[in-house]
């Protein structure tokens, strides 16, 4: 065995436990435990799994909760399994009593809802809740209606919520129902219309903030701010402001933004990509004339682009000689063509029409909870010659030698079931707040329904590992619901 060749079995027990808990990922620990009864006992000891869970908390994959150290080994293992498979009751929900089920079915029939065959009762199954928290931002913001809340996002770790309301961006601490920070635009007469955030180090978040100048005649000027925020004390630092490419204003349509580490990206007009290295205060405008650019996401050393015909990856190192310094709020002039960049085709996906519209994502990427350097990529596709949308899953592996990938499977999504929320596990939360099972679960899997508060909300966010739903209410409250 490889562990024997490395002399692993010759180490003292405490050192083996230290290596497993501090230097191995979950998959490696499980593999080591399969090699002998002795190593199995050590691999599934409480100390090892306590360290593994602590690593996942530090990586913001498992939400920080007091008392993790008091959990038994099987409970710690269950915490890790939920990051891979989603909440347990999303896959194995409890069915409500028959009399309640009959009354609910009759109620929906009276409203004229079409309940098709075997799914009639399944659509009324609710998952079990483990936690419910209510935030009251209207007490300080004056926002009294959910119509003003445009976007809400629970940051990784589950401790803070960012939300955009009435053109203003705020951060709230969940445990205290307390305002931590209110964004102030660096440019006068501007308002925020979208944002993206990423935890860059312990309790510090980088935020990409997209803004419009309200007083400008059309086409309006647009600016992007990069701000860092200390979540402990609410202190923020404006890193840079850059003007959006004027060429993007011809069509006038903003598509999406994302931030990952020191990189940020904003897509305009389906053919303009603004790349920002905010740590180096530099940028590139990537333009395409032969492709249609829908969405982009980052993985280490690469940017993945969803084009009209292909899903591609481009090494960030290929831009090394193309970066230009950010020049205040002056017009950007550093353009390059996507056609001139070396790209790697991950998959051929001819689309019938673009799926990416304002405030909707159609490309997601999540790091693996169990294996370092491995990522799960999801793409929402509308294929040529088909009226049915597809959700396709990929596994990407990033190594020093390059990137490798494997398609894990595809599934058609039912009508009106755009993924408003998508978990690492493959569970899809639709616009009607139904939870569809993962694409590789197979069989006649149960479709469950979230509670009524989530169903009434116009704005909600689903955490990719825990499945925690963060949504706004008609009263202007923000509710967080976690599931068993």
Q: What is the DSSP letter of 77?
A: H
162 within some domain:
yes
Indicate whether 24 and 155 sit together in one domain: no
Evaluate if residue 63 carries a pLDDT over 90: no
> What are phi and psi for residue 69, nearest 5 degrees?
-70, -15
Same domain, 376 and 280: yes
**How many whole angstroms separate alpha carbon 33 and alpha carbon 39?**
5
Looking at the fold, whether 137 and 198 belong to one and the same domain comes out as: yes
Q: Which one, of 377, 381, 293, lies nearest residue 338 by Cα?
A: 293
For residues 170 and 66, membership in a common domain is answered with no
335-337/282-287 β-pairing: parallel
Q: Is residue 440 part of a domain?
A: yes
Is the domain of 226 the same as that of 139? yes
pLDDT for res 106: 44
Distance between CA atoms of 293 and 281, rounded to whole angstroms? Answer: 24
Q: Based on the domain organization, do 447 and 330 belong to the same domain?
A: yes
* pLDDT at residue 113, rounded to an integer: 40
User: Token pair of 168, please?
Assistant: 């203003």
Longest CA pairwise span in the chain (Å): 74
Please report the pLDDT score of residue 146 as a whole number: 44
Reported pTM: 0.86
pLDDT in tens, 381-437: 766 556 667 788 999 999 888 899 998 888 777 655 678 889 999 888 887 778 888
Quick one: 68 and 133 in the same domain? no
Give yes or no: residues 41 and 167 share one domain: no
Residue of higher predicted confidence among 70 and 27 = 27
Count of the separate structural domains present in the chain: 2
In this prediction, residues 294-315 reach a mean pLDDT of 88
The mean pLDDT of 112-130, rounded to a whole number, is 53
Same domain, 67 and 147: no
Residue 264 lies in a domain: yes
34 within domain boundaries: yes
Percent of the chain with pLDDT over 90: 43
Looking up tokens 């011809």 gives 250
Average pLDDT, the chain: 81
**Range of weakest confidence among 20-29, 271-280, 350-359, 378-387:** 350-359
> Which domain-ending residue is among 83, 102, 119?
83
Q: Assess whether pLDDT exceeds 70 at residue 115.
A: no
The fraction of the chain above a pLDDT of 70, given in percent, is 78
Residues 177-199 have pLDDT tens digits of 999 999 999 988 888 889 999 99
Domain-terminating residue out of 83, 115, 147: 83
Mean pLDDT of 313-319: 91
463 is a domain residue:
yes
Instruction: Mark whether 64 and 146 lie in a shared domain.
Output: no
* Low-confidence winner among 161-170, 203-212, 242-251, 323-332 (lowest mean pLDDT): 242-251
Which H helix or E strand runs over 226? strand 222-230
User: b/e per residue, 452-476, with b = 16+ CB within 10 A?
Assistant: ebbeebebbbbbbbbbbbbbbbeeb
Domain final residue pick, 83, 118, 148:
83
Whether residue 100 lies inside any domain: the answer is no
Q: Is 106 inside a domain boundary?
A: no
Q: Does 59 share its domain with 199?
A: no
| Residue pointed to by tokens 């990033």 | 398
Q: How far apart are CA 220 and CA 36, in angstroms?
A: 66
Confidence check: pLDDT of 142 > 50: no
Helix (H, G, I), strand (E, B) or coil at 213: strand
Query: CATH no. for residue 451?
Result: 2.130.10.10
Residue 435 inside a domain? The answer is: yes
What per-residue confidence (pLDDT) applies to 196? Answer: 95
Q: Domain containing 390: what range?
A: 128-483
**One domain, residues 147 and 34:** no
Q: Give me the mean pLDDT over the 19-33 stretch.
A: 94
User: Given this model, what pLDDT does residue 384 score?
Assistant: 57
């Amino acid at each position: 065995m490889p562990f024997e060749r490395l002399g692993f079995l010759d180490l003292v027990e405490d050192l083996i436990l230290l290596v497993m808990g501090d230097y191995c990922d979950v998959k490696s620990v499980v593999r080591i435990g399969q090699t002998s009864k002795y190593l199995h006992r050590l691999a599934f000891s409480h100390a090892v799994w306590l360290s593994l869970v602590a690593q996942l908390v530090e990586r913001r994959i498992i939400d920080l909760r007091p008392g993790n150290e008091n959990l038994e080994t099987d409970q710690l293992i269950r915490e890790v399994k939920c990051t891979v498979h989603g909440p347990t009751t999303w896959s194995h929900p409890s069915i409500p009593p028959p009399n309640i089920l009959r009354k609910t079915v009759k109620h929906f029939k009276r409203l004229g809802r079409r309940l098709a065959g075997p799914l009639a009762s399944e659509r009324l199954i609710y998952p079990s809740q483990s936690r419910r928290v209510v935030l009251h931002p209207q007490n300080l913001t004056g926002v009294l209606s959910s119509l003003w809340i445009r976007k809400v996002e629970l940051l990784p770790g589950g401790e803070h919520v960012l939300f955009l309301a009435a053109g203003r961006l705020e951060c709230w601490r969940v445990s205290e129902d307390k305002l931590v920070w209110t964004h102030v635009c660096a440019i006068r007469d501007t308002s925020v219309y979208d944002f993206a955030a990423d935890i860059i180090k312990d309790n510090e978040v980088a935020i990409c903030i997209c803004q419009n100048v309200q007083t400008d005649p059309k086409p309006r000027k647009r600016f992007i701010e990069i701000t860092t925020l200390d979540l402990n004390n609410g202190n923020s630092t404006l890193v840079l402001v850059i003007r959006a490419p004027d060429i993007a204003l011809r069509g006038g349509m903003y598509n999406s933004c994302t931030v990952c580490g020191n990189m940020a990206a904003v897509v305009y007009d389906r053919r303009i990509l603004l790349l920002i290295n905010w740590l180096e205060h530099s940028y590139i405008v990537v333009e395409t004339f032969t492709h249609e650019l829908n969405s982009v996401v980052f993985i280490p050393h690469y940017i993945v682009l969803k084009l009209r015909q292909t899903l591609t990856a481009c090494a960030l190192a290929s831009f090394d000689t193309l970066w230009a310094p950010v020049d205040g709020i002056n017009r950007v002039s550093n353009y390059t063509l996507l056609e001139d960049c070396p790209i790697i085709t991950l998959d051929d996906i001819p689309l019938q029409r673009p799926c990416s519209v304002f405030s909707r994502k159609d490309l997601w990427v999540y790091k693996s909870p169990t294996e370092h350097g491995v990522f799960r990529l999801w793409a929402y596709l509308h294929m040529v010659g088909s009226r049915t949308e597809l959700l396709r899953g990929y596994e990407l592996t990033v190594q020093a030698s390059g990137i490798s990938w494997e398609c894990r499977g595809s599934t058609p999504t039912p009508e009106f079931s755009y993924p408003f929320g998508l978990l690492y596990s493959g569970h899809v939360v639709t616009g009607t707040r139904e939870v569809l099972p993962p694409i590789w679960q197979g069989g006649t899997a149960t479709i469950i329904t979230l509670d009524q508060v989530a169903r009434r909300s116009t704005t909600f966010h689903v955490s990719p590992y825990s499945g925690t739903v963060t949504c706004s209410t008609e009263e202007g409250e923000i509710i967080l619901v976690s599931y068993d």
